[in-house]
Structure 1
C-alpha cells in the first residue's frame, strides 16, 4: 500500500522525507485527446474525484517530488497512454533503505493490457479516431446549449454483451469508475442481462463526424415473476468535461424512453444511488410527474394516493417508493410555507412516513415478548426512547426538506431556461 514504508521511517528522517510525499489526486492528470494539440493544452486536463481505490486510503504516494502521472485516452476509441514524470526521486541509501512507492503498477493492474507508454505512438493512435463509429444502436440524439452560447450535440447508443466489438471497448471505458465512483467494481460482462447506454459528443473535424466518449450508464434486467423484467440502474458516469451541462439528465431520460413502452417492464429501480444521482433522479422524476393528472396541485394537497402510484408506474415505470418521494417533493412545491397550518400538515405527512420504521420496531418487539422469558426479552431490548425517536425524526425530516428544496430550485431553473 502506498505510503506504508514511509510510515515506518524514524522521526529523524521523516521531516526530510516529507518532501517526497505527494497527494495522488494532485499527481494524476487525465485527458480525452481529440488532436495532438490537446496534449499541451492544460484546459483539456481534468482530475480524479478520488484515488483511494488505486493508491490506498491515504491517497498519498511516497518517494517523488514534482510527480505527474499521465493517464490519457484518445477521445473516441479510448486508446490509453500511461506514463509518469518527476523532478526528484528518493534515494534509499540516504534514508534508511526506504524505497519509493510503485506509481505505474497500481494503475496498470487495473486497466486492460496493451496501453501505450510512448507519446509518439499515442499521438499516432489519436489520428485513427477519425474512423471510429459508436457501437450498438442509437437511441437518442439531442443538443445541449451551454452558458457560453455554444451548442453541443450528443447521441446515446444501446449495447449489450453480444454487440460486436463492444466488450473490448467496455474494458477501457469502465476504468474511469475507479476515479469517480466510490466502492466501484467491474461488472461481470458474461451475463447477458446487462444493458449499456453510452453517450458520445458528436462533433465535426474537417467536415467529418467524430464521436467523443462522454459517459455511460449500466442497467441490469432482473427477472420478475411470471414473465416480466425489473431493470435496475447500476452505474452512472459522466466525465468531468461533460458535467454540469445537463447530460446526466438526458442520459437518464434515454433509459426511461427505452423502457417506458415495454409492457414486460414492471418498474425501474436504482442500486445504491449516490447523493448526486438521487438528486438527479428526483429532478427528472418530479419533472416528468408534473405532467401527470394525479400530480396536479389540487390533487397533491389532498395527500398521497394509490392512483398516483398506478399512473406513475404505468406511464413512467416508477416504483412505489420513488413515487412517494416525488409526491413529497411536489407537494412541498405547492405548499405555502408561510401558511403555518398548511406547512404543519405537510411536515406531519412526511414524518408519519418516516415514523413507520419505529412502528415496525414496536410490532417486532411485541412479537418477541410473547415468546421470550422476561430476562431474555430484557436482553434483546433495542427500542429507541421517545426523545431519541423525535430527535431522529427531526433530523431526517430536515435533511429531506433540504434535499427537496434543492430539487425544486433545479425544477424552477429548468422551467426558466
Structure 2
C-alpha cells in the first residue's frame, strides 16, 4: 500500500492546470514574444482538456498559442521540462498536441522564425467588410486610441479562414462555446479592430467580434439573434463590448424588415451589458421620461421601444425598472415601497406559474408525491428567495445607473 501511495504521489507531480499551461498572445512586434506582460490565459479549458481542466503526463507544461494581432496567423507549440513516459513505463501522457489541433485550423506554424515572417506580413492586413462605426478610447499611456467596427460576411475574400482562427478564442473564454457554420448566409459578422500606427504605417489589430443569425419571422420580417460575442482579454474593461452592442443594435434598427433583436442563451454578463445599452438608448424616448416612469410600465413604452429601437416587451420592462429606479427616491418610504412591489410583481411570475402547475398536479399525483412538491414551494421559502432575487436585481440596476451617469 505504501508503494502505491508513493507511486501516486510521484505521478501527481505530472498533473498541470491547463488554464495556467495554455499561454495566449496577440503579437504586434517581435519583442512581444519574450514579454510575459503580453501573455494571457484561458478562463476555461474544459472543452479541450476535460471537466477537471487538468493535463496529465508533464512537468512545466506550456501550450504556446500565439497570434499575429491583425490576421491572427497562428504559432502553436507544446513545451515541457519532463514527460511521465521518460520516468515510468506503461504510463501514458495526454496527447496535448492532438487535443489542441482539434480546435485550431490547419495552417499554423510551429517554427518561431516562420511566425516572425508572418508578423512582417501582418502589416498588409486590412479589416474585412464594411466600416460602419468608429470611436476613440482614452488610454493613460498611449493617449487617444482609435477603434473601428466592420460588418463582414462569407463573401469577403479570406474571411472564412480568418474567422476559423478567430473563433478558436471562444473555447477558452465562453463556457458553453461551440463553432458555427460560417458558410450559412444568414450569419452577420461584426468585427472590432484597433487602428494604430507603426513606423508611419496604419495597422489594424483584432479586438473582438459578434455573430448574429437572422431568423425568418412570418410573413416578411427577420429576427436577428446574437449568438456569440467576445472582446479579447487584452481589451476587456475598456468599454468595447458596449460600443459593439450599441452599434450593432442601431444597425438593425435601421432595417425596416427587422422585428426585434434577441440573444441566444445569454450569459449574466451579456444581460447586464444589454441592460446598460438598452437603457442608454431608451432614456431619450418620450414614453420613458421621468414623469411617465412613475406611473408604471405602459403600452406606450412597449410600442415605442419596439417601433423605434426593435426592443421586445421583456427587455423594455427591464429598461423601465432601471430608469424608474434612477428617478425614485429610495429614502422615501412610499416611493421605495411602490418600486419594490412593482419589481417583485414581475419577479413573482415564475412562482405563480409553479403554483398553477401544482394545482394541476393535485389531480394526478399520489399523496406522498404531492407532499414532496408542496415542500418545494413553501411560502416562507418563496418570500425569502423573492427578496434575495430582488436585492440582486436592484444591485445590478444601481451599477447600470452609475455607468449611465459616468457616460452623461
Normalised by the size of structure 1, how large is the TM-score?
Answer: 0.92
Task: State the SS of the aligned residue for 2:31.
Answer: helix
2:79 corresponds, among 82, 85, 89, to 85
Structure 2 match to 1:152: 145
Task: State the SS of the aligned residue for 2:266.
Answer: coil
Q: Contact 1:368–1:377 (CA<8 Å) still a contact in 2?
A: no
Q: CA deviation at 1:11?
A: 2.2
Structure 2 match to 1:34: 28
Partners of 1:217 and 1:358 in 2: CA distance = 35
Q: Contact 1:64–1:100 (CA<8 Å) still a contact in 2?
A: yes
Structure 2 match to 1:307: 300
Output aligned runs, 1:370-409, within 5 Å. 372=363, 382=373, 384-409=377-402
Answering whether residue 127 of structure 2 is matched by residue 134 of structure 1, we say yes
Alpha carbons of structure 1 residues 124 and 374: separation in structure 2 relative to 1, 3 Å: closer
Q: CA deviation at 1:91?
A: 3.6
Partners of 1:106 and 1:306 in 2: CA distance = 53
Normalised by the size of structure 2, how large is the TM-score?
Answer: 0.94
2:354 corresponds, among 361, 382, 394, to 361
Partners of 1:373 and 1:15 in 2: CA distance = 56
Q: Contact 1:140–1:254 (CA<8 Å) still a contact in 2?
A: yes
Q: Contact 1:13–1:95 (CA<8 Å) still a contact in 2?
A: no
Answering whether residue 39 of structure 2 is matched by residue 49 of structure 1, we say no
Q: Contact 2:24–2:41 (CA<8 Å) still a contact in 1?
A: yes
Q: Contact 2:71–2:125 (CA<8 Å) still a contact in 1?
A: yes
Partners of 2:132 and 2:262 in 1: CA distance = 20
1:71 corresponds, among 57, 62, 65, to 65
Task: State the SS of the aligned residue for 2:13.
Answer: helix
Q: CA deviation at 1:364?
A: 4.2
Structure 2 match to 1:191: 184
Q: CA deviation at 1:329?
A: 1.0
Structure 1 match to 2:204: 211
Alpha carbons of structure 1 residues 173 and 373: separation in structure 2 relative to 1, 3 Å: closer
**Deviation digits for residues 192-251 of structure 1, max 9, x if unmatched?**
111000111111122221111110001011111110011111110000111111111111
Alpha carbons of structure 1 residues 345 and 37: separation in structure 2 relative to 1, 3 Å: same
**Deviation digits for residues 322-353 of structure 1, max 9, x if unmatched?**
11011111111111111112111111111111
Q: Contact 1:69–1:83 (CA<8 Å) still a contact in 2?
A: yes
Q: Contact 1:49–1:180 (CA<8 Å) still a contact in 2?
A: yes
1:15 corresponds, among 5, 9, 14, to 9
171-180 or 148-157, larger mean C-alpha shift: 148-157
Task: State the SS of the aligned residue for 1:197.
Answer: strand
Partners of 2:61 and 2:357 in 1: CA distance = 57
**Deviation digits for residues 162-188 of structure 1, max 9, x if unmatched?**
333211111111000000011100012
Q: Contact 2:361–2:370 (CA<8 Å) still a contact in 1?
A: no
**Deviation digits for residues 70-98 of structure 1, max 9, x if unmatched?**
10011111111100222222245x43621
Alpha carbons of structure 1 residues 123 and 373: separation in structure 2 relative to 1, 3 Å: closer
2:167 corresponds, among 171, 174, 185, to 174
Partners of 2:206 and 2:217 in 1: CA distance = 33
Q: Contact 1:27–1:67 (CA<8 Å) still a contact in 2?
A: yes
Q: CA deviation at 1:263?
A: 1.2
Structure 1 match to 2:281: 288
Answering whether residue 193 of structure 2 is matched by residue 200 of structure 1, we say yes
Structure 1 match to 2:344: 351
Aligned residues: 404
1:59 corresponds, among 53, 60, 64, to 53
37-46 or 245-254, larger mean C-alpha shift: 37-46
Gaps of 5+ in 1: 1-8
**Deviation digits for residues 96-130 of structure 1, max 9, x if unmatched?**
62122222211111111121010011111111111
Answering whether residue 106 of structure 2 is matched by residue 113 of structure 1, we say yes
